[in-house]
Amino acid sequence: MVVVRAGRVHLHPRLQPQRAHHVQHARLCRHIGQADDGFGHQSGVGCGGDDRAAGAAIGAAFKTRTTAAWTEILLKAGVPCGPIYSVDRMFEDPQVKHLGIARTMQHPELGEIEVVGLPMNFSRYPRQSGPLTAAPRQGDQTEQILTGLGYSPAQIAELRTRFVV
């Protein structure tokens, strides 16, 4: 997996088996028009070179096509990758739509908003169906929680006067 962050390339050899990493690195190099050792790596090593030089070479290559074009090219080449979206573009992603994780929620201050949940679904804890609710605002459930813990209304009032809650 290749991650470009703050102008540096991180080739993450710990996140996957080394052989797969070497193969993916070679595929990436081939498809962006660089020799396998064009980033200061020894041929076939794929993780021992200059990250800054690799970042500059990859960054320069990535500027020559759109994100969508690079994603298509690299996925076809067997290089795991995907776009990093702004929030507004995330809701238009076909995979977000296919998985059904974009949901509408009624927020007490913002009104109806669209949110994205987790992309996985667990058989033991399936996703909720129906409307989502916003997390409680600070203080919304204080009285209910303290009452549940055995505090009397007078004790809760006393905590409020002392600015404890």
Domain boundaries along the sequence of the chain: 3-76, 85-134, 137-165
Higher pLDDT, 159 or 118: 159
pLDDT at 19: 53
pLDDT at residue number 150: 97
pLDDT at residue 75 tops 80: yes
Amino acid at 125: Y
Residue with tokens 């800054």: 52
Mean pLDDT of 113-125: 82
pLDDT band at 36 (very low <50, low <70, confident <90, very high): low
Report yes or no on whether pTM surpasses 0.85: no
Tokens (6 digits) for 107:
């927020």
Q: What is the mean pLDDT of residues 7-15?
A: 49
**Please, are residues 83 and 71 in contact by the beta-carbon 8 Å criterion?**
yes
Note the pLDDT of residue 134. 85
Q: What is the pLDDT of residue 115?
A: 87
